[in-house]
Amino acid sequence: MATDDRPGAGTTPALARLAGPLAALADNAAARRAGIVALLALMVVAPFVFGEYATVILTNALLYVVLALGLNVVVGYAGLLDLGYAAFFAVGAYTVGILTLRVGVNFWLTLPVAVCTAALAGVIIGGPTLRLRSDYLAIVTLGFGEIVRISARNMSITGMASGLSGIHQPWLFGWHIATPRDFYYLFCVLAILAVAVSVRLADSRLGRAWLYVRYDEDAAEAMGIDRVRVKLAAYVTGAIFGALGGVFFAVNLGAISPESFSFTQSVLILMAVILGGMGKIPGVILGAMIVILGPELLRSLGELRLLVFAVGLLLIMLFRPSGIWPGRGRQQ
Amino acid sequence: MSLLDILAHQLLNGLVLGSFYALVALGYTMIFGVIKLLNFAHGDLYMVGGFIGFIVLSAISSVVGGGWFGIFIAMLLSMLAVGFLGVVIERIAYHPMLSAPRLSILITALAVSLVLQNTALALTNGQYTAFRSDLGFGGITLGGLFITYNQMVLVAAAAVLMIALEFFVTHTQYGRAMRAVAVDADMCELLGINVAAVIGVTFFIGSALAAAAGTMAGAYYGSLWYFMGFLIGLKAFTAAVIGGIGSIPGAMLGGLVLGLLEALGTQIPGIGSEWKDVFSFAVLILVLVFKPTGLLGRSEQERM
């Protein structure tokens, strides 16, 4: 199955038993459709039920869904480790900030520019490194993430350490997207689009090529798949998702600063991908929710938040590498 | 100061910085050699080493003082403790993953790094810890250049450690086994070499070297921070790649080259010290693009 977990991803019996009912639910097509409808209905009414504070948090969670789905293309689909994903997020955010504030371009016109800039950055970083051992990519992306953050902090066009503020809220056909609720719905649409694109990509020719390269690179190459090009496609697709997330992040907050794009940010997005179950779309969504809603529910943790996530990540890797969301087709 | 003095001064700075990079890069490259893993947690072992050295020194400074002798004892104990920590990490986190897909073990290494970092963060509340020692600021003047005794001791200590390592790797049975495992672990197993033990020894030595660098850096710069291992981990990797990853002399050379490049590179007009890190990551990317085998690495067409 296309969204299956990786080889060797064993499930401990106790966890399998726990995941049993959930897996049954995920396997039943009718139940799944009903679940999706219920989820969409919940998304529509959520701001009216939970109030403004929860709406803001949920908006953030939806942003993470978009970012995590983008990183999932790189990590989950193509099996490449990207530790500097926040860099693309930053590229998107700063493109909007600079073009709308310093040049005066209309917000919607900055979108294609942000996408092209991110894709170009992806090609520049990914092109040379993807020819090497795939673990080099991990550390080069880590370095790239730092380069982008430090550059943003040192250049006057990006507003140095204090960043850019006063980014205007956009208009869409006479609708001024301004209140938290407006932005919530905007991000709902984005997240749904991201899910749709992810699903289509996984089932596409390219998606199957990614799966093949992830399982056995040499065999894939023997079958005529250009592994560097296929990997680069994954890396650039992830970059575009990240940049789009950054674009809307910038207009939502109205202000951006270099520290929003730190290594910690990259790690949080990566955790969202892995905790829920990389390669599996519901798993990634679950992961994004855990990463954003978890700290809200466990306020008392404070500074320990990341430690808890880090220990969780370690335990997941050691005992259930396919993530929390149940994998299908592996329970014998 | 004349241009020549500035140059000499920066060369000295580069040498000191390069010694730290080289010590950390050695562990990186050795561990990569035996299990082909980029150990992201390696920089954090440097940080843990700094903190343990600090704790030991605080405990014994009333008896032996906070001078070089105290720091030497602190460094040895820290090396021992972090060496064991490295072995424990390998046994618990990496060993079960050796046959798992490449991506899994990389993520596991990242998780270990985050656990170490955030444990230190929780224990120190994210504050800088002052590393107090009584090293003084004495030194000698050589032409227009003032060299402190601290700098001399530090570079000498790093050199001694590296020479000892080189001797260990080339002249002892374990060293020979380590080189053999790096070439072909499966074959070593067949020939009766205890590969797991060799990996353990490698982790012990690599981690201990990082701890030595951490303690010395703490004493030299006077402060410790939970996040200090992140940047040096990246720099040490860069150094290892410059020298040729997997090559022990390469790591030493790469560390020194990177230290000197950074010290001199920031003197180029237009590249201030705020661009120092960008400069070295750019070097990393350029080396990977144009000479991925590094200065002393073997050229091998290996993909995973």
Predicted confidence band of residue A327 (pLDDT cuts 50, 70, 90): low
Predicted confidence band of residue A10 (pLDDT cuts 50, 70, 90): very low
Could B303 and A129 be called an inter-chain contact, meaning their C-beta atoms sit closer than 8 Å? Answer: no
Query: Hey, is the C-beta of A309 within 8 angstroms of any chain B C-beta?
Result: yes
Convert the pLDDT of each residue in B256-272 to its tens digit. 999 999 888 877 776 77
Using a CB-CB cut-off of 8 Å, the residues of chain A touching B104 are 6, 8, 317, 321
Nearest by CB to residue B230, choosing from A80, A263, A270, is A263
Convert the pLDDT of each residue in A99-145 to its tens digit. 998 888 888 999 999 999 999 999 988 888 888 777 788 888 888 89
Distance (Å, whole) CA B193 – CA B178? 10
What pLDDT shows up at residue A7?
43
pLDDT > 60? residue A12: no
Phi, psi of B145 (to 5 degrees): -110, 130
Convert the pLDDT of each residue in B230-244 to its tens digit. 989 989 989 998 998
Is residue B207 within 8 A of residue B81, CB to CB? The reply is no
Minimal CA–CA distance to A1: which of A316, A282, A279?
A: A279
Picking from A72-76, A297-301, B66-70, which range would have the lowest pLDDT averaged per residue? A297-301
Contacts with A, B 36-95, CB within 8 Å: 37-38, 40, 92-93
Distance (Å, whole) CA A287 – CA A309? 11
pLDDT > 70? residue A16: no
Distance (Å, whole) CA B251 – CA B235? 11
Is residue A312 within 8 A of residue A275, CB to CB? The reply is yes
Residues 6+ apart with CB under 8 A from A254: A165, A166, A167, A168, A169
Query: Hey, is the C-beta of A303 within 8 angstroms of any chain B C-beta?
Result: yes
Query: Hey, is the C-beta of A173 within 8 angstroms of any chain B C-beta?
Result: no
Phi, psi of A171 (to 5 degrees): -105, 145
What ipTM is given for this predicted complex?
A: 0.85
Predicted confidence band of residue B76 (pLDDT cuts 50, 70, 90): very high
In chain B the first and final C-alpha atoms are separated, in Å, by 52
What pLDDT shows up at residue B65?
77
What pLDDT shows up at residue A169?
82
**Helices B3-35 + B195-221 axis angle, to 10:** 160
- Match 């046959």 to its residue by tokens: B99
Convert the pLDDT of each residue in A72-98 to its tens digit. 999 999 989 999 999 999 999 999 999
Distance (Å, whole) CA B109 – CA B193? 26
pLDDT > 50? residue B6: yes
Q: How far is A110 from chain B (nearest CA, A)?
A: 27
pLDDT > 70? residue A14: no
- Match 């097509």 to its residue by tokens: A29
pLDDT > 50? residue A2: no
Q: How far is B104 from chain A (nearest CA, A)?
A: 7
Predicted confidence band of residue B41 (pLDDT cuts 50, 70, 90): very high
pLDDT > 90? residue A312: no
* Mean pLDDT over the full length of chain B: 88
Convert the pLDDT of each residue in B198-211 to its tens digit. 999 999 999 999 99
